[in-house]
Chain A
Amino acid sequence: MDKVWDYAPAPESRDIANLKPSYRMFVDGQFVEGSGEPLKSINPGTEEVLAEVSTASGADVDKAVKAARRAYDRVWGKMPGAERAKYIFRIARLMQERGRELAVLESLDNGKPIKESRDVDVPTAASHFFYHAGWADKLGYAGLGPDPRPLGVAGQVIPWNFPLLMAAWKIAPALACGNTVVLKPAETTPLTALVLAEICQQADLPPGVVNILPGAGDVGAAVVNHPDVNKVAFTGSTEVGKIIQSSLAGTGKKLTLELGGKAANIVFDDAPLDQAVEGIVNGIFFNQGHVCCAGSRLLVQESIAEELLEKLRYRVSTLRVGDPLDKNTDIGAINSAEQLARIRELTEAGDAEGADRWTSSCPLPDKGFYFAPTVFSNVHQAMRIVREEIFGPVLSVLTFRTPDEAVAKANNTPYGLSAGIWTDKGSRILWMAQRLRAGVVWANTFNRFDPTAPFGGYQESGFGREGGRAGLEGYLNV
């Protein structure tokens, strides 16, 4: 396309992030130096070092779990729900007040475009605290028995794709139900979780109720395997999820896992095509495709495949890839060099297996980790790009002829996290939704999140639900 009108750069100021040269872990209400090897958090948009972050050692994990246990026994576990609610509300309000700071910091640390951190991550994270604050004094009415009790100390490990939002998903229900928390943010994105720790401090949350321990996988392993942890919640790869599940077998710890996915986005010939195109774009290019429930497999009915693909390619070519802090950026940076390498490897496998690759001709910045939006067509079920989770801005397009074939292809995966259905027929939506093995089924939309709606998977996508009434169960002794 000719550039008639070049949008001038409109970067959000990075000063708003209040970036500090170093960050420390948060244990028992205090920021303290960890005794692990410090890590450097990198801005994936520019590859510069953002800050040095101290990490936890095994002894630090033990200290944090002890603090959490103390806080649970002495204060939080026996505090009336109405009192707990006040703290959680306060955290939600403070998150809103510091919303811009959190958004800019998130984009710096993670690489996601500022319009997403500003309009999705931070507001949704705050709304999870608001929502769960409301539950704290009403747990007896959640349909889980008259007086459900908390579990104790929750050990939580979260991924790098939505660093703050995942922390909120984990911490808010745990606190509402009366548990205390030891949380490990991802190695590449620890910063916003540590600002959330600051917010907990600001909200006068009793010491030890929330503890945040940055570090790599070994810290996560120490948290989930600590004998005094009663509940483990993990969001991340299926591979690690399996390790956690086997190591926890027989320990009596309650476990919820939210793992990978390879969601089918199914478009019927009577779908509202232009909005389906929007949904496909949102499904796979939202957050650079770093979404466990991303609609990475497009299943399109044969009779409209060509028309839809033409529309899709035009639309994808209008996506703006670049500086995550620019307010007009649609697709930001891939979170790490490692992830970029994995995306490259899998797309090369797509080429080698004979799929047709189409890549947007958008310009990419010289520095930083970027990958242009890519659509593979002429794809079949046996290819790696269809079976494996790419976790990047790469879409594989398959076609189908009948609704039965659509169901069969959609379900032909070890995963089962989400699915999308696009059709103007309400009856077909219900028919399909009953047959799709996916924890979340979106109809005529995709990637919509709300704290009231339970989220979780089937099979290798994990078990347990987060959000909604169903999400409380994972943090209560029921």
Chain B
Amino acid sequence: MAAPSTTSSAETTGTPASGPLPPALADAVRDDASLRRFLHGLPGVDQVGVEQRAAGLATRSIKKAAKLWAIDTAIGMVDLTTLEGADTEGKVRSLAAKARRPDPDRPDVPHVAAVCVYPDLVATAVAELVGTGVGVASVATAFPSGRSNRQVKLIDTDMAVQAGASEVDMVIDRGAFLSGRYGQVFEEIQAIKAACGDAHLKVILETGELATYDNVRRASWLALLAGGDFIKTSTGKVSPAATLPVTHVMLQAVHDWHESTGELRGVKPAGGIRTTKDAVRYLVAVNEVAGPQWLTPTLFRFGASSLLNDLLMQRRTQLEGHYSGPDYVTVD
């Protein structure tokens, strides 16, 4: 029934990634003006209200079996990340080893979801991780600023995919978004999605630069409309990175997206999540804002580096009844 509108949208903006959109949404992406009308017609987000709700949910008390389940689930959701200028192949190899088997003394610890690196290190990571079930994610599109031209961004993406990345973390053009050129951002996400082929696309909104929750909601819908498989908060290079209220707004967006399209899209908070306590608070938000079906690595990830060690230490504490400290986990 959506056939006529998808044809018209295909002419101007390319075919949406995951099947035809329902008529109302297909209409939203017809042209630049429609897109703007749609995004500005989304209900506003009240700052006081969303922060109050996030703080309220953060008081949930997760103990015993529920905590252990949360720790293992969170481990399985970690995108173990290294995005430094000083990264080496050796560091990536050791990160890959940690990703496969986070706690060498305890083989029952699940492997993490993916390793996240720069494009030039994708081949190294792939060589270490092929066949293990751990994905390789690469940042792309002139990460972290996104300040380059379309060709460079496409080549960047292509390079990562050719090297075997199963997931691509792109950044949106915040300059274009904030100056209201939504169509440009939309087309860019679509173009990158097309360049990704089979690789999953995570769209980094860099919420720390978007300034308002209204903008976070608009950017979330924009990325979902353009076919992003995941929406991701931050590059980790801008402060503030992920926060609970921002993640609430994004979880609400994927929940609403599912209500209107039936499709499941994911959320990835990244940056600043360092402790098990933080991770559990995010999982509570996933459970109660988006819904229980989002409690899986295919729909929720943590972009983090130091979080994994804290999860491992807390896991041991839960099982052994005492805390053993950072000397008993590997530091990479």
On A, residues with C-beta under 8 Å from B are: 1-10, 115, 119, 270-275, 278-279, 310, 318, 327-328, 424, 444-445
B237 touches A (CB below 8 Å): no
Give the chain B neighbours of A271 by CB distance below 8 A: 43-44
Q: A274-B43, A274-B50, A274-B252 are in contact. Are A8 and B65 (CB under 8 A)?
A: yes
Nearest opposing residue in chain B for A115, CB measure? B59
Main SS at interface, chain A? loop
Contact A275 B63 (CB under 8 A): no
Does B293 contact A4, Cβ atoms closer than 8 Å?
Answer: yes
* Contacts A1-B291, A8-B64 known; 14 new A-B pairs at CB < 8 A: A2-B293, A3-B292, A5-B69, A7-B60, A8-B62, A8-B63, A10-B63, A270-B44, A274-B45, A275-B46, A278-B53, A279-B49, A328-B61, A444-B46
Contact A278 B49 (CB under 8 A): yes
CA distance A1 to B61 in the complex (A): 21
* Distance between B37 CB and nearest chain A CB, rounded to angstroms: 15
B292 touching A5 by the CB < 8 A rule?
yes
B239 sits at the interface (CB 8 A): no
Q: How far is the CB of A476 from chain B (nearest CB, A)?
A: 34
**Contact present for B292 and A272 (CB under 8 Å):** no
* Chain A positions within 8 Å of B70 at CB level: 5
Bound: A424/B46 CA distance, A: 9
Q: How many Å from the CB of B188 to the closest CB on chain A?
A: 28
Pairwise interchain contact B52-A328, C-beta atoms closer than 8 A: no
How long is the Cα–Cα vector from A424 to B252 in the complex, in angstroms?
19
Q: Do the beta carbons of A444 and B291 come within 8 Å of each other?
A: no
User: In the complex the two chains form, is B287's CB within 8 Å of A272's CB?
Assistant: no
Q: How far is B134's CA from A36's CA once the two chains are assembled, in angstroms? A: 73
Contacting B45 at CB < 8 Å: which of A115, A270, A275? A275
- Bound together, the chains give a CA A375 to CA B298 distance in angstroms of 35
Q: Is the CB of B295 within 8 A of A5?
A: yes
- Provide the bound-state CA to CA distance between A362 and B52, in Å: 24
Tell me if B316 is interfacial: C-beta within 8 Å of chain A. no
Which A residues are in CB contact (< 8 Å) with B50?
A: 274-275
Whether the pair B43, A272 counts as a contact (CB closer than 8 A) is yes
The residue among A4, A274, A310 with the most chain B CB atoms within 10 A of its own CB is A274
Residues on B with beta carbons closer than 8 Å to the beta carbon of A444: 46, 48-49
Q: Does B283 contact A (CB under 8 A)?
A: yes
Known contacts A1-B291, A328-B60; decide if A6 and B46 are in contact (CB<8 Å): no
**Contact surface of B with A, Cβ cutoff 8 Å:** 43-46, 48-50, 52-53, 59-67, 69-70, 73, 252, 259, 283, 287-288, 291-293, 295
Chain B residue nearest to A281 (CB atoms) is: B53
Chain B residue at minimal CB-CB distance from A310: B259
In the assembly, what is the distance between CA of A353 and CA of B292, in Å? 36
How many angstroms between the C-alpha atoms of A351 and B152 in the bound complex?
Answer: 65
Minimum Cβ distance to chain B for residue A407 (Å): 22
Q: Which residue among A115, A119, A275 has the maximum number of chain B CB atoms within 10 Å of its CB?
A: A275
Q: How far is the CA of A272 from the CA of B293 in the complex (A)?
A: 25
A-B contact pairs, 10 of them (CB 8 A): A2-B292, A5-B69, A5-B73, A5-B287, A7-B60, A272-B46, A273-B43, A274-B43, A310-B259, A327-B61
Complex CA gap A424/B42 in Å reads: 12
A327 touches which of B52, B59, B65, B291 (Cβ 8 Å): B59
Expressed in whole angstroms, the Cα–Cα distance for A310 and B66 within the complex equals 29
- Tell me how far the C-beta of B74 lies from the nearest C-beta in chain A, rounded to whole angstroms: 11
Is A119 within 8 A of B59, CB to CB?
yes
B285 to chain A, nearest CB (A): 11
Determine the chain B residues whose CB is within 8 A of the CB of A424 once the complex forms. 44
A275 in contact with B53 given A2-B292, A4-B292, A444-B48 (CB within 8 Å) = yes
Picked from B44, B64, B67, B295, the residue with its CB within 8 Å of the CB of A272 is B44
Tell me the complex Cα distance, A271–B66, Å.
Answer: 36
Residues of A within 8 A of B61 (CB): 7, 10, 327-328
Contacts of A3 in B (CB 8 A): 292
CB proximity of A8 to chain B, nearest CB, Å: 4
Quick one: closest A residue to B66, CB to CB?
A8
Closest 4 CB pairs of A and B: A275-B49, A10-B61, A327-B61, A275-B46
Would you give the shortest CB distance from A312 to chain B, in whole angstroms? 13
Q: Shortest Cβ distance from A21 into chain B, in angstroms?
A: 30
- Chain B, residue nearest A424 (CB): B44
Query: In the assembled complex, how far is the CB of residue A277 from the closest CB belonging to chain B, in whole angstroms?
Result: 9
The interface centre, meaning the residue of B44, B49, B259 with most chain A CB atoms within 10 A of its CB, is B49
In the bound assembly, the distance between CA atoms of A279 and B50 in angstroms comes to 10
A445 to B47, CA, bound (A): 11
Complex Cα distance, B283 from A371, in Å, reads 28
Docked complex Cα distance between A275 and B60 (Å): 19
Whether the Cβ atoms of A4 and B287 lie closer than 8 Å is yes
Q: Complex Cα distance A281/B52, Å?
A: 13
Among A5, A279, A444: residue with most chain B CB under 10 A: A5
Question: From A273, which residue of chain B is reached at the shortest CB distance?
Answer: B43
A10 touches B44 (CB 8 A): no
The residue on B at minimum CB distance from A269 is B43
Please give the distance in Å from A477's CB to the nearest CB on chain B: 40
How distant is B132 from chain A, measured CB to nearest CB, in Å? 25
CA A295 to CA B283, docked complex, whole Å: 30
Within 8 Å CB of B60, what residues of A? 7, 327-328
Cα distance, A6 to B65, chains bound together (Å): 9
A349 CA to B70 CA, complexed, in Å: 44
Among B45, B67, B288, B291, point to the contact of A8 (Cβ < 8 A). B67
Docked complex Cα distance between A474 and B287 (Å): 48
Contact of B62 among A7, A119, A273 (CB under 8 A): A7
Question: Which of chain B's residues have a CB closer than 8 A to the CB of A279?
Answer: 49
Residues on A with C-beta less than 8 A from B59 are: 115, 119, 327
* B70 (CB) vs chain A CBs: closest residue: A5
Q: Which residue of A lies closest to B295 (CB)?
A: A4
For A1, the chain B residues whose CB sits under 8 A away are 291-292
- How many Å from the CB of A373 to the closest CB on chain B? 15
B45–A272 touching, CB < 8 Å: yes
**In the complex, A3 Cα to B295 Cα: how many Å?**
11
Chain B residues with Cβ below 8 Å from A272 are: 43-46, 49
Q: How distant is the Cα of A279 from the Cα of B53 in the complex, in angstroms?
A: 10
B293 contacts which chain A residues (CB < 8 A)? 2, 4
Expressed in whole angstroms, the minimum distance between the Cβ of B67 and any Cβ of chain A is 7
B298 to chain A, nearest CB (A): 13
Known A-B contacts A1-B291, A4-B292, A7-B60; A445 and B49 likewise in contact (beta carbons under 8 Å):
yes
- Min CB gap A468→B, angstroms: 21
Cβ B66 vs Cβ A6 within 8 A: yes
Q: Report chain B residues within 8 Å CB of A7.
A: 60-62, 66
Min C-beta distance of B25 to chain A, whole Å: 15
